[in-house]
Structure 1
Amino acid sequence: MKSLFLAIIFTVFAVFFTHARELTSLSESHKFKQFGLVWGLMKYHHPLVSKGKYNWSEAFVKNVEKLERIKTQEALNLFLLNFINSIKPSKIKISNDFDGLFTKNYDYDWISKFPATSELYKKLNALKLNTNISDYYVSIGTLSIIPTFENEKGLEKFDVSIKSHRLLTLFSFWNAIQYFDVNKYLMDTDWEDTLDTLIPKFLICESELKYERLKAELVRALDDSHALYLNQKLLDSLFKYKPSFATNLVNDTLVVVATFDQNAEDYNKIKLGDKIVKIEGKSINRTILENLSPYISASNYSYLKRFSNWILRGQSDSLKITIARNDSLFSKCLPRYKDLPNTNQKVLSRDAPKKKWQFIEDDIGYINLRSISKQEIKTAFSSFTQTKGIIIDLRKTPSNLLLNELTRYLYPKRKKFIRVLGPISNRPSLAKHVKSPLRLISDPFKTGHKNRNFYRNKVILLVNNNTMSQSEYIGMAIQGSPNCLTVGKTTAGAVMNIAAFTLPDATQVNFTSLGAFYPDDTSAQRKGLKIDHYVNETTSNFLRDQYVLKGIELIKMK
């Protein structure tokens, strides 16, 4: 009986101590995550670190190497506390004032996972609320309000085979976005979840190509059309071989619009106007999602479809496609090339306006903003005074257009057409709606002039997924005119200027620096411009410009 009692006691203690070890033991990923979060908090919140008084990238590398011997949470907590205390104490200025501030990106929940009574928690919480912050690692200009990271110059002798170097890439970029991307709240995947997914991958990745793929995966998680990152090595590994023809995507079909080889129609069996309905047995939309979405950051699916030609590229010198021609459906295996031949290019002719401005009917004007000059805009509006409506084409990026040169003819008076959200230099992860930077400078978020003779009839704005960034900004201004209707498809959803961040390996990544809202507070980031009438393009009506035809129809409607 005594033996049985002792056995039970032994079992209970064994289970208890095993459970205790499980509670305090650390996974490698979790250990590095906690350090990377504390390191990032100090970089952007600590009074001295934010002054650039320490080489913070080297501090990361050295401490990651020391972390190898940390095995329990208790040991890690002490390590993190000592790490914070290794920096000379400096004055902390606490602020709990959030009045009028944008708080959707304010996320410090990870701090609450440390014991609330511990010295570590108290120091982290004080740093979170500190506003005594300098601008060495990130500065925000008075005029541009765009965050700049000019002292991010890369790590000397960066080596992708070194674990601490790879993790530095991950945490440098992750923390910059965590604290200074005002559009972070719009991501499909929570930004901390992205970190959890990528830490294990960065830990075991030692080849340069795998590392580049992980960087693309990291940037793609922004869901930001400005944040395209694909270096040449990665491009070559994914899209090395190309077909000798180009296509436009219409719904779930690729229409062949150009060929680049005089023999293409002979031995490739491809003709202008052919409709490609499957690639390697898969639908076009499925192929786009599988082949492109893992690597291309896109605010929305409409923007991702801009890269539809890329799904015809690949790592082999041939591909199998299914073609619809007339009433026939057949499959062909076609060659692909490293270098595209360009001996006898043929282009599918489409019926669309060709001039910078013109009458497309006796009482309907058309203006293409791509390369029109100030004088040409003036002449166009002078000529269109008696028209029933004007179609303004913004499907290609204007090269030299100043906004007020256009809106002076569209607005009866000056007014605000956009609200802009910007970061705050000493309040990381918070943001505010920006007012005119200086009183002496005209408010850039207003446009138009007092003009009794403004154009009073219908204005039709044409947009599509090529309408991006500056074009979307211009589009929002045109939409602010009294009689504007917008026709087309979802735009790229990346309205404002870009911010550039240099990674430790010296490569550069961009992201949309500011948030864009209509005056009624509707967000334009990711959603794109408001559309009044969506264009229904089909392969049967593809040769005629359905955008322009819809514009004409709307102008003629009473």
Structure 2
Amino acid sequence: MKRLFLAVILTFFAILFTHARELTPLNESQKFKQFGLVWGLMKYHHPLVSKGKYNWSEVFVKNAEKLERIKNQEELNFFLLNFINSFKSSKIKISNDFDGLFTKNYDYDWIAKFQPTSELYKKLNELKLNTNINDYYVSIGKLSVIPTFENEKALEKFDFSIKSHRLLTLFSFWNAIQYFDVNKYLMDTDWEDTLDKLIPAFLTCDAELNYEKLKAEMVRALDDSHAFYLNQNLLDSLFEYKPSFVTNLVNDTLVVIATFDKNVDEYNNIKLGDKIVKIGDKSIKTSILEDLSPYISASNYSFLKRLSNWVLHGKSDSLKVTIARNDSLFSKNLPRYKDFTNTNPKVLSRDTPRKKWQFIEDDIGYINLKSISKKEIKTAFSSFSQTKGIIIDLRNYPNNLALNELTHYLYPERKTFIHVLGPIANRPSLAKHVKSPLKLIIDPFKTGHKNRNFYSKRIVLLVNNNTMSQSEYIGMAIQGSPNCLTVGETTAGAVMNIAAFTLPDATEVNFTSLGAFYPDGSGAQRKGLKIDHYVNETTSNFLKDQYVLKGIELIKMK
């Protein structure tokens, strides 16, 4: 009898041991990832959670702390199922209709990837397909298709040193982008891969400055020139000291275009027109990619070049550079300063038009859109009526001019110049091409009007990496005119309006809220405006405005 009892006990423990070996172990990143994904799915898909019935940030913190005791996938599946079931259920409306919808951002592969139980999979899949969704956490108005996150609030007593608080920052932002950034499919790195990279770092972050760096890295992954995030502490840490001169990037060389009277000694080291070809032992392009790119979200390299002067800023009070001057090449250690007064500026003289509008030749007009008014644009087009062509300078951000006040003179009839992609309130991850919201409202994606007296000669549009956001939108409208050629370099690649999202630590992050496409279907987000003729600026010719010279050449060719 004792032997039989012993055999039974041994068999029992053998079964337990075998079962234990079959349990699927989890590391810390895996279990927090699965919980964060389920938490985000419920936030934007669950009928009552999406109605704001619960303090969803507090729910995250409370349950994230419970995850500490979970050791394997089987326990996590049980935890996640109980988590979902702990919230009151409501009517689920299933829809598998994707006709006419933009599906490139539709990504729920993670549901099956983590081997949920059949019951858990069913719950998650129902939420994925649910269209009975409320708009507490994200709303899209009838008159605007821009998503707003006005009920995203800071977490009370947020403390970056608390792991669950840091993870809340990560998953709050990640899920908002996952479900409502229509340009997500354009990112260089898959958004889920970005999450996989960031979770371990957010878990182990041990200093406030490192936390800020991780936030900057998180936002930078959007590859969106609108998504700029560097708080003051991070700015001070990375770029606290700056030189008392300003440069302009020409190809891969920084040309000194302005100096300030900080001290006499520095003037012996740096002069107007000097060409900086290296910073330390790195080329300028390498410095931009290594020192700026990790922290600054940019749709393209052209936008990063716009901030190239920042590579001369840094953490120390001196900077080693290699300078080309005349026919010599030499290295210098230049001083950098925390603060200085920009007194006695000396600026490199450049031959470029200065007026809002002018004749640059007898039969060629020039208009700078930066500050020109409706009245002035009318006078300009009247004066240019007999010219061979007009150069329109959009290397700036127009401040005083509405779009239709310009295209009034450029279009023979009203037409569509842009197609816009917007999110759908009750279909997270999906999007659709937007039409005019109401019949009573004029279609914002058309411009011009019937005008037999429109300007029918050559239009040359000048653009560069300062052409961004509304400037790019206006640029697309100008390009839609019958006789337009575009001259310049790649624009910033962030065409449409921004959406603002408040993180749990009360900081705000922006991203481009809509997608922009030309009428032929080609995209403008990240790519920037279409360019007909790229400008070839060099360090020897950039003192003369090569953009304007190319415009004159194209007008004379017609």
Give the Cα–Cα distance (whole angstroms) in 1 for the partners of residues 366 and 540 of structure 2: 25
Give the Cα–Cα distance (whole angstroms) in 1 for the partners of residues 264 and 254 of structure 2: 17
In the TM superposition, what is the alpha-carbon distance from 1:542 to its structure 2 partner? 1.3
In the TM superposition, what is the alpha-carbon distance from 1:114 to its structure 2 partner? 4.5
Give the Cα–Cα distance (whole angstroms) in 1 for the partners of residues 263 and 506 of structure 2: 44
Contact 1:114 1:120 in 2 (8 A): no
Which amino acid counterpart does residue 100 of structure 1 have in structure 2? G
Q: Is the counterpart of residue 46 in structure 1 residue 85 in structure 2?
A: no
In the TM superposition, what is the alpha-carbon distance from 1:21 to its structure 2 partner? 3.6
Determine the structure 2 residue equivalent to 1:3.
none
Contact 1:250 1:538 in 2 (8 A): yes
Determine the structure 1 residue equivalent to 2:6.
none
Specify the SS of the correspondent of 1:290. Answer: helix
Determine the structure 2 residue equivalent to 1:420.
420
Residues 1:268 and 1:122: Cα distance change in structure 2 (over 3 Å): farther
Which amino acid counterpart does residue 329 of structure 1 have in structure 2? L
Determine the structure 2 residue equivalent to 1:86.
86
Determine the structure 1 residue equivalent to 2:548.
548
Contact 1:256 1:274 in 2 (8 A): yes
Give the Cα–Cα distance (whole angstroms) in 2 for the partners of residues 514 and 267 of structure 1: 48
In the TM superposition, what is the alpha-carbon distance from 1:434 to its structure 2 partner? 0.2
Determine the structure 2 residue equivalent to 1:503.
503
Determine the structure 2 residue equivalent to 1:446.
446
Give the Cα–Cα distance (whole angstroms) in 1 for the partners of residues 37 and 466 of structure 2: 37
Give the Cα–Cα distance (whole angstroms) in 2 for the partners of residues 144 and 206 of structure 1: 42
In the TM superposition, what is the alpha-carbon distance from 1:113 to its structure 2 partner? 2.2
In the TM superposition, what is the alpha-carbon distance from 1:333 to its structure 2 partner? 0.3
Specify the SS of the correspondent of 2:202. Answer: helix
Which 4+ residue blocks in structure 1 deviate beyond 4 angstroms? 16-20, 114-117, 264-268
Q: Is the counterpart of residue 476 in structure 1 residue 476 in structure 2?
A: yes
How many residues get paired?
547
In the TM superposition, what is the alpha-carbon distance from 1:112 to its structure 2 partner? 1.2
Sequence identity percentage: 85
Could you tell me the TM-score, scaled by structure 1's length?
0.96
In the TM superposition, what is the alpha-carbon distance from 1:281 to its structure 2 partner? 1.5
- Segments of structure 1 that go 5 or more residues without pairing to the other structure are 1-9
Give the Cα–Cα distance (whole angstroms) in 2 for the partners of residues 115 and 515 of structure 1: 34
Give the Cα–Cα distance (whole angstroms) in 2 for the partners of residues 69 and 25 of structure 1: 13
Determine the structure 2 residue equivalent to 1:131.
131
Alpha-carbon displacement from aligned partner over 1:495-521 (angstroms, at most 9, x marks no partner): 000000000000000000000000001
Q: Is the counterpart of residue 238 in structure 1 residue 238 in structure 2?
A: yes
In the TM superposition, what is the alpha-carbon distance from 1:345 to its structure 2 partner? 1.0
Give the Cα–Cα distance (whole angstroms) in 2 for the partners of residues 218 and 22 of structure 1: 36
Residues 1:33 and 1:267: Cα distance change in structure 2 (over 3 Å): same
Specify the SS of the correspondent of 2:351. Answer: coil
In the TM superposition, what is the alpha-carbon distance from 1:267 to its structure 2 partner? 4.9
Give the Cα–Cα distance (whole angstroms) in 2 for the partners of residues 330 and 321 of structure 1: 8
Determine the structure 1 residue equivalent to 2:7.
none
Determine the structure 1 residue equivalent to 2:337.
337
Alpha-carbon displacement from aligned partner over 1:273-295 (angstroms, at most 9, x marks no partner): 00000000210000000000000
Residues 1:268 and 1:437: Cα distance change in structure 2 (over 3 Å): farther
Residues 1:325 and 1:54: Cα distance change in structure 2 (over 3 Å): same
In the TM superposition, what is the alpha-carbon distance from 1:263 to its structure 2 partner? 3.2
Alignment of 1:484-523 (within 5 A): 484-523=484-523
Contact 1:456 1:483 in 2 (8 A): yes
Bigger mean CA offset, 325-334 vs 259-268: 259-268
In the TM superposition, what is the alpha-carbon distance from 1:269 to its structure 2 partner? 1.1
Q: Is the counterpart of residue 557 in structure 1 residue 557 in structure 2?
A: yes
Alpha-carbon displacement from aligned partner over 1:170-206 (angstroms, at most 9, x marks no partner): 0000000000000000000000000000000000002
Contact 1:275 1:325 in 2 (8 A): yes
Specify the SS of the correspondent of 1:71. Answer: coil
Give the Cα–Cα distance (whole angstroms) in 2 for the partners of residues 277 and 537 of structure 1: 16
Which amino acid counterpart does residue 141 of structure 2 have in structure 1? G
Residues 1:117 and 1:65: Cα distance change in structure 2 (over 3 Å): closer
Could you tell me the TM-score, scaled by structure 2's length?
0.96
**Over the residues paired in the alignment, what is the CA RMSD in angstroms?**
1.6
Give the Cα–Cα distance (whole angstroms) in 1 for the partners of residues 266 and 103 of structure 2: 61
Contact 2:244 2:262 in 1 (8 A): no
Contact 1:48 1:90 in 2 (8 A): yes
Bigger mean CA offset, 83-92 vs 112-121: 112-121
- Segments of structure 2 that go 5 or more residues without pairing to the other structure are 1-9
Determine the structure 2 residue equivalent to 1:314.
314
Contact 2:139 2:425 in 1 (8 A): yes
In the TM superposition, what is the alpha-carbon distance from 1:99 to its structure 2 partner? 0.3
Alpha-carbon displacement from aligned partner over 1:298-355 (angstroms, at most 9, x marks no partner): 0000001111000001000001000001001000001100003322111111000010
Alignment of 1:236-315 (within 5 A): 236-261=236-261, 263-264=263-264, 267-315=267-315
Determine the structure 1 residue equivalent to 2:462.
462
Alignment of 1:313-392 (within 5 A): 313-392=313-392
Residues 1:232 and 1:21: Cα distance change in structure 2 (over 3 Å): farther
Specify the SS of the correspondent of 1:148. Answer: coil
Contact 1:114 1:121 in 2 (8 A): no
Residues 1:164 and 1:549: Cα distance change in structure 2 (over 3 Å): same
Give the Cα–Cα distance (whole angstroms) in 1 for the partners of residues 220 and 115 of structure 2: 34
Contact 1:242 1:340 in 2 (8 A): no
Residues 1:383 and 1:106: Cα distance change in structure 2 (over 3 Å): same
Determine the structure 2 residue equivalent to 1:5.
none
Q: Is the counterpart of residue 222 in structure 1 residue 222 in structure 2?
A: yes
In the TM superposition, what is the alpha-carbon distance from 1:141 to its structure 2 partner? 1.1
Give the Cα–Cα distance (whole angstroms) in 1 for the partners of residues 513 and 402 of structure 2: 21
Give the Cα–Cα distance (whole angstroms) in 2 for the partners of residues 189 and 553 of structure 1: 41
Alpha-carbon displacement from aligned partner over 1:415-445 (angstroms, at most 9, x marks no partner): 0000000000000000000000110000000
Determine the structure 1 residue equivalent to 2:405.
405
Contact 2:23 2:74 in 1 (8 A): no
Q: Is the counterpart of residue 534 in structure 1 residue 534 in structure 2?
A: yes
Alpha-carbon displacement from aligned partner over 1:466-499 (angstroms, at most 9, x marks no partner): 0000000000000000000000000000000000
Which amino acid counterpart does residue 368 of structure 1 have in structure 2? N
Give the Cα–Cα distance (whole angstroms) in 2 for the partners of residues 307 and 486 of structure 1: 23
Contact 1:268 1:334 in 2 (8 A): no
In the TM superposition, what is the alpha-carbon distance from 1:144 to its structure 2 partner? 1.5
Give the Cα–Cα distance (whole angstroms) in 2 for the partners of residues 295 and 509 of structure 1: 14
In the TM superposition, what is the alpha-carbon distance from 1:89 to its structure 2 partner? 1.1
Residues 1:20 and 1:478: Cα distance change in structure 2 (over 3 Å): farther
Give the Cα–Cα distance (whole angstroms) in 2 for the partners of residues 43 and 263 of structure 1: 58
Give the Cα–Cα distance (whole angstroms) in 1 for the partners of residues 26 and 115 of structure 2: 16
Contact 2:391 2:460 in 1 (8 A): yes
Determine the structure 1 residue equivalent to 2:433.
433
Contact 2:416 2:519 in 1 (8 A): yes
Residues 1:213 and 1:22: Cα distance change in structure 2 (over 3 Å): farther
Residues 1:267 and 1:385: Cα distance change in structure 2 (over 3 Å): closer
Give the Cα–Cα distance (whole angstroms) in 2 for the partners of residues 285 and 359 of structure 1: 38
Residues 1:457 and 1:23: Cα distance change in structure 2 (over 3 Å): farther
Residues 1:116 and 1:237: Cα distance change in structure 2 (over 3 Å): closer
Specify the SS of the correspondent of 1:139. Answer: coil
In the TM superposition, what is the alpha-carbon distance from 1:262 to its structure 2 partner? 5.4
Contact 2:370 2:397 in 1 (8 A): yes
Contact 2:266 2:334 in 1 (8 A): no
Contact 2:184 2:191 in 1 (8 A): yes
Determine the structure 1 residue equivalent to 2:192.
192
Alignment of 1:109-120 (within 5 A): 109-115=109-115, 118-120=118-120
Which amino acid counterpart does residue 393 of structure 1 have in structure 2? D
Residues 1:525 and 1:266: Cα distance change in structure 2 (over 3 Å): closer
In the TM superposition, what is the alpha-carbon distance from 1:19 to its structure 2 partner? 10
Q: Is the counterpart of residue 143 in structure 1 residue 143 in structure 2?
A: yes
Give the Cα–Cα distance (whole angstroms) in 2 for the partners of residues 367 and 147 of structure 1: 35
Which amino acid counterpart does residue 280 of structure 1 have in structure 2? G
Contact 2:147 2:180 in 1 (8 A): yes
Residues 1:231 and 1:553: Cα distance change in structure 2 (over 3 Å): same
Bigger mean CA offset, 408-417 vs 259-268: 259-268
Give the Cα–Cα distance (whole angstroms) in 1 for the partners of residues 203 and 264 of structure 2: 47
Which amino acid counterpart does residue 383 of structure 1 have in structure 2? S
